[in-house]
Amino acid sequence: MPQLILLRHGESVWNLENRFTGWVDVDLSPRGIEQAQTAGKKLTGIPIQKVFTSALTRAIRTATLALEAGGFASLPTERSAALNERHYGDLQGLNKDEARAKWGEEQVHQWRRSYDIAPPGPAGESLAMTLKRVLPYWESHILPCLKAGENTLIVAHGNSLRSLILKLEGLSPEQILEVELGTGVPILYQLEPSDTAPTGFSIKTKTVL
């Protein structure tokens, strides 16, 4: 039975500044570096065989720092923009308080927390749109590794990981909106093959490390 670890990147410099980040390629803050290293130490002893990250620096660097801190040798790693954070469109780069002042508290909350309403701008993505690009990558790249019995680490972002959690845990669009993922906090799933589960696996245990 394979193990799956989901890890949101450590705090970024724009997390620290309370900005909408999305696809903007910012680095980790000093606290984010510490969070990544702490996460890696929590993974010590887990036999990880495969690593997937988004194409963004904050996720790539979190994976690198975590694996170093956990004492892991070089592991096969794939990077893909399919695992990137949702694109926040015209909100990217704005301080969240500035956005509320411009568009109003209720409107910004709707963009941030609704399932299928995208923020303004041609590239803006809703959570539902993010799921539509994450799930095919899961099915074509990650799922075969798990089916081969490989323990797998995914280092990505709050919304791309929430998309996976929705499918993994069989949550509704309303339920996933209540799920919060802390920066640098690993979630460990012990999986069992399932012909009926939409992801090909059911969850035997879930542990927040």
Q: CB-based contacts of 84: which residues, under 8 Å, 6+ apart? A: 23, 54, 55, 56, 156, 157, 160
Which residues carry out catalysis? Answer: 9, 85
Q: Read out DSSP for 100-167?
A: HHHH-HHHHHHHHH-SS-PPSSTT---HHHHHHHHHHHIIIIIHHHHHTT--EEEEE-HHHHHHHHHH
Contact 27, 61 (CB under 8 A): yes
